[in-house]
């Protein structure tokens, strides 16, 4: 069973391209980052492209983890109930 503070990884292929999708828990509250295991934070710091329900919330969470990369090097996409299906696929094709 997947625990909410663990990292889940899914391999996928979209239009012939292979990739990995990481599901990273984003705890509620300002002190929630302390409850995330160090290995999850390490994976988070290796990722360049993020898909989140709200980019602003994702940026705030990542900033609290003290990332090693500058924020200008990171890409954020928002996906929510209003996101068109073709946009979702294009996010997975992003490089």
Q: Is residue 2 part of a domain?
A: no
Give me the pLDDT at residue 1, please: 37
Q: Is residue 86 part of a domain?
A: yes
Q: What is the pLDDT of residues 24-82, one digit of tens each?
A: 777 766 677 887 888 888 888 988 888 888 888 889 889 988 998 998 899 888 888 88
Give me the pLDDT at residue 45, please: 92
Q: Is residue 1 part of a domain?
A: no
Q: Is residue 78 part of a domain?
A: yes
- Residue 20 is part of which domain span? 8-92
Give me the pLDDT at residue 70, please: 92
User: How many folded domains does the chain comprise?
Assistant: 1
**Residue 54 burial (CB count, 10 A):** 13
What's 29's domain CATH number?
Answer: 3.40.1010.10
Q: Is residue 85 part of a domain?
A: yes
Q: Is residue 3 part of a domain?
A: no
Q: Higher pLDDT residue, 8 or 52?
A: 52
């Amino acid at each position: 069973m997947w625990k909410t503070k663990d990292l889940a990884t899914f391999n996928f292929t979209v239009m012939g391209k292979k990739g990995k999708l990481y599901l990273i828990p984003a705890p509620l509250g300002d002190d929630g980052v302390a409850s995330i295991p160090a290995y999850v934070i390490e994976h988070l710091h290796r990722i360049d492209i993020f898909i989140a329900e709200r980019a602003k919330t994702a940026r705030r969470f990542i900033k609290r983890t003290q990332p090693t990369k500058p924020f200008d090097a990171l890409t954020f996409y928002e996906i929510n109930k209003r996101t068109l299906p073709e946009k979702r696929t294009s996010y997975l094709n992003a490089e």
